[in-house]
């Protein structure tokens, strides 16, 4: 299978008509092997995508990525973490032209990189970067403080967040609404960690707060599912371990996934969950959750009041052979968010899920799934 990434830009945002996508694919292997993104659009009324600086972005081995305006010049820059022995990259955006500056800024780490997130932990107006590695790499995770003058300094050890493990998801969130962003680190091979930001240091509080999920977490998403103004977190867990939904009760998190029937109870060890994405897909005012996975995808419609119903089958997005990341976006600007899910190891029969678009490339299949086809959605 090809092993490269092509970064694409949507140059057309308004469409007069929706047409069926004839060709397009994207591939992602979740276990750190490779990423492939290739798009081909053959009908004139479809959004028109063009590769952006493919000579720069077509680099093998890309894994996590995240965007931020780290230099406050009004342009978003892109950080990409890479497989072992390939230097991580930072693509600075100079008015629409990207320049790779990872080495210059000394954030071109070589250990296998599986997670990264920008967050302004010290509230100085400059985005800082947390980078997570694998346990096998032996590297401790890093927190790069951005001094605002083009220099990053790793302060992870000084601030107490230089942890090691199979890091899979890092999130900057203000879980206690004190105005300082806190750090959540999910591990595939160890209890998840939550670090409270106390200004000049971080304090590990996951155990005390009850959010130290010991299962095999590979994805986590924070959102206020019950609208009490406190962020809750859903954890997507692998190898048959059940998923969690930790309700934030201010002084404690409580896993309510089982009582809400959304923990995938009874699934075999061959099943698991991966890429999470939150959207308000039916415009009823409640945030809904899509969970991509092995064995089954879930689309949890939030019925309000913190109750969920899995509507993946009826909405045609159950899929789930080897689904990995997912993302919502209104790609055709009709006011309804659409869902993109990538997958791999999709040999055997194809389940197109009434797809608006789908394709196969080698052993990989990717799909754009229509969740809403009716104006009433």
Rule CB under 5 A: which residues touch Ca ion?
A: 120, 122, 124, 126, 128, 174, 176, 178, 180, 182, 224, 226, 228, 230, 232, 280, 282, 284, 286, 288
Per the CB < 8 A criterion, the answer to whether 289 and 301 are in contact is no
Per the CB < 8 A criterion, the answer to whether 219 and 190 are in contact is no
CB of 247 to Ca ion, least distance (A): 6
CB of 227 to Ca ion, least distance (A): 7
Backbone φ, ψ for residue 314 (5° rounding): -65, -25
CB of 65 to Ca ion, least distance (A): 20
The position carrying tokens 């999910």 is 186
Rank residues 57 and 300 by Cβ distance to Ca ion and give the closer one.
300
CB of 279 to Ca ion, least distance (A): 8
Per the CB < 8 A criterion, the answer to whether 141 and 133 are in contact is yes
Rank residues 176 and 239 by Cβ distance to Ca ion and give the closer one.
176
CB of 309 to Ca ion, least distance (A): 11
Rank residues 3 and 176 by Cβ distance to Ca ion and give the closer one.
176
Residue 330 class from Cβ within 10 Å (0-12 exposed, 13-18 middle, 19+ buried)? exposed
Angle (CA) 172-294-36 rounded to 5° is: 70
> Residue 312 in 3-state DSSP?
helix
Alpha-carbon distance of 375 to 282, in angstroms, equals 10
- What strands, in cross-sheet order, belong to the sheet with 77-82? 62-68, 77-82, 89-94, 97-100
CB of 362 to Ca ion, least distance (A): 36
Rank residues 280 and 313 by Cβ distance to Ca ion and give the closer one.
280
Alpha-carbon distance of 331 to 14, in angstroms, equals 10
Rank residues 109 and 182 by Cβ distance to Ca ion and give the closer one.
182
Alpha-carbon distance of 26 to 160, in angstroms, equals 38
Rank residues 241 and 310 by Cβ distance to Ca ion and give the closer one.
310
CB of 126 to Ca ion, least distance (A): 4
Residue 9 class from Cβ within 10 Å (0-12 exposed, 13-18 middle, 19+ buried)? exposed
CB of 229 to Ca ion, least distance (A): 7
Q: Would you say the C-alpha torsion 185, 239, 287, 16 has a positive or negative sign?
A: positive
Strands 364-369 and 202-204: unpaired
Rank residues 212 and 288 by Cβ distance to Ca ion and give the closer one.
288
Rank residues 53 and 309 by Cβ distance to Ca ion and give the closer one.
309
Rank residues 225 and 340 by Cβ distance to Ca ion and give the closer one.
225
- Nearest to 140, CA basis, from 113, 107, 118: 113
Q: Quick one: CA torsion of 345, 350, 356, 362, rounded to 10 degrees?
A: 40
CB of 317 to Ca ion, least distance (A): 14
Each residue of 172-183: b (16+ CB within 10 Å) or e? bbebbeeebbbb
CB of 220 to Ca ion, least distance (A): 15
The position carrying tokens 């959540």 is 184
Rank residues 226 and 326 by Cβ distance to Ca ion and give the closer one.
226
């Amino acid at each position: 299978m090809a092993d490269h990434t092509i970064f694409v830009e949507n140059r057309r945002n308004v469409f007069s008509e929706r047409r069926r996508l004839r060709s397009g694919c994207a591939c992602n292997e979740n276990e750190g092997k490779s990423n492939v993104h290739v798009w081909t659009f053959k009908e004139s009324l479809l959004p028109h995508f063009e590769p952006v600086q493919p000579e720069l972005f077509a680099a093998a081995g890309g894994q996590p990525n995240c965007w931020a305006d780290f230099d406050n010049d009004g342009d978003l820059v892109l950080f990409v973490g890479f497989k072992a022995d390939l230097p991580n990259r930072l693509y600075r955006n100079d008015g629409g032209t990207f320049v790779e500056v990872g080495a210059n800024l000394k954030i071109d780490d070589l250990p296998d990189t599986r997670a990264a997130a920008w967050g302004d932990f010290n509230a100085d107006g400059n985005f800082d970067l947390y980078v997570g590695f694998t346990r096998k790499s032996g590297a401790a995770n890093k927190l790069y403080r951005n001094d605002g003058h083009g220099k990053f300094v790793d302060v992870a050890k000084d601030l107490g967040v230089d942890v090691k493990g199979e890091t899979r998801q890092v999130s900057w969130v203000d879980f206690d609404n004190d105005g300082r962003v806190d750090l959540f680190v999910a591990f595939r091979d160890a209890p998840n960690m939550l670090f409270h930001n106390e200004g000049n240091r971080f304090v590990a509080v996951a155990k005390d707060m009850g959010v130290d999920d010991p299962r095999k977490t590979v994805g986590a998403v924070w959102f206020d599912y019950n609208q009490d103004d406190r962020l809750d977190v859903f954890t997507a867990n692998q190898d048959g371990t059940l998923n969690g939904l930790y309700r934030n009760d201010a002084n404690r998190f409580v896993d309510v996934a089982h009582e809400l029937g959304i923990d995938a109870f009874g699934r075999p060890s061959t099943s698991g969950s991966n890429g999470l994405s939150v959207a308000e897909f039916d415009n009823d005012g409640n945030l809904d959750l899509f969970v991509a996975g092995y064995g089954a995808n879930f689309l949890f419609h939030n019925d309000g009041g913190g109750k969920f119903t899995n509507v993946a089958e009826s909405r045609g997005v159950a899929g789930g052979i080897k689904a990995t990341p997912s993302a919502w976006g209104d790609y055709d600007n009709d006011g309804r968010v659409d869902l993109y899910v990538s997958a791999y190891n999709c040999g055997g029969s194809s389940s197109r899920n009434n797809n608006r678009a789908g394709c196969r490339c080698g052993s990989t299949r990717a799909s754009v799934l229509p969740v809403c086809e009716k104006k009433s959605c």
